[in-house]
Amino acid sequence: MFRAIFFLAIAPVALLVFAEPIHAGPKVDWEKINPSLKGATSSSSITGCLDCHEDYIKSFARTKHALYFKKTLGKSLVQSCEDCHGPTGTHAAEPDFDKKQSTTVSFKTITPQQKSQICLQCHEKQITLHWKGSVHEMANVSCDKCHYVMARKSKRQLSINEDSKKACFTCHADKRARMLRSAHMPLREGKMSCASCHNPHGSLAPNLLKAETTNQTCYICHQEKRGPMLWEHAPVREDCNNCHDSHGSNHLSMLKWKPPYLCQACHSNAGHPDSLNDGSGLPAFGGAGTFIVGKSCLNCHSRIHGSNHPSGARFMR
């Protein structure tokens, strides 16, 4: 009985919340983008649009945007077009076909910033809150570089490709190459995406990370490395990228270099053989070879991320 009363009490509130767009931002000044739209009015019929844009309109009518505008906002199809292309009254009335393109807002002719401004009318908050001033915006990347509105090309988030990481690899070819290495994040297997760690729409953290730091991002999945530990390894606490290449490596566990060379980048050889371990002496067991075969330093210092053992000061237990 209590559950039924509670549901009836919150149902009107839920309907009220979802009946209005929850990402509404400032409306676009169409005249500022295209001066020929000064005084332009909305078109009352979609018939004229279909004469030239039938294929576009039919494909758009099956997208999330069109369904949302119609079912939630109660907008007609022509009103949906005008939300992104400005009032179409002047465009429809222009008799000269060669001049028609100049009487509307075409995404082929406006700047990347103007394209994003149009999208931010509805998508200004939540994951896009920090778009303005972000790395991508400053690099003149616009929303349509990664998302396609006029047809359904993917099941999620209007990505230009069903595999969202391919949208990222369009520009980040170096990261694509690293993902093809033997040790890599499980993107190739489809268990995660670039957006698992990064927010491409902007972030207050470096490298568009979703969490505050590299380590906090890694701890989302690797909680066992979080600590605090009784004995802590300083470079581990500073930045996981000190030792790991987070986009892929040909070394075990995505390490930047193979041990012992990685360890010797910071550690002197005090307490070990009196020369850097470079493979000389192999395969003599007990000599220099002991410190380079297998996991090298990790053969003994197995708790390299930190230890809670009372005798774990050297991360050996």
Mean pLDDT of 87-98: 86
pLDDT at 108 > cutoff 60? yes
Q: What is the pLDDT of residues 147-196, one digit of tens each?
A: 999 888 888 888 998 888 999 999 999 999 999 999 999 999 989 999 99
pLDDT: which is higher, 247 or 5 = 247
Confidence of residue 278 (pLDDT cuts 50, 70, 90): low
Q: Domains of the chain: which residue ranges?
A: 18-160
Confidence of residue 126 (pLDDT cuts 50, 70, 90): confident
Closest Cα partner for 124 from 137, 110, 138, 111?
137
313's tokens: 């000061």
**Least confident among 10-19, 138-147, 187-196:** 10-19
pLDDT at 275: 54
Conformational region of residue 294, where left means phi above 0, alpha means psi within -120 to 50, and beta covers everything else: left
What letters, b where the CB count within 10 A reaches 16 and e where it falls short, cover 209-232?
beeeebbebbbeeeeeeebebebe
Instruction: Give whichever of 18-27, 53-62, 78-87, 210-219 has the largest mean pLDDT.
Output: 210-219
64's tokens: 């999330």
pLDDT at 119: 93
What's the CA gap between 16 and 239, in Å, rounded? 45
* Ramachandran angles phi, psi of 154, nearest 5°: -150, 165
Long-range contacts of 169-177 (CB under 8 A, 24+ apart): 170/145, 171/141, 171/145, 175/247
- Mean pLDDT over each residue of the chain, to the nearest integer: 84
Count of Cβ atoms closer than 10 Å to residue 104 Cβ: 22
What percent of the chain shows pLDDT beyond 70? Answer: 85
pLDDT at 191: 92
What percent of the chain shows pLDDT beyond 90? Answer: 49
pTM of this structure: 0.79
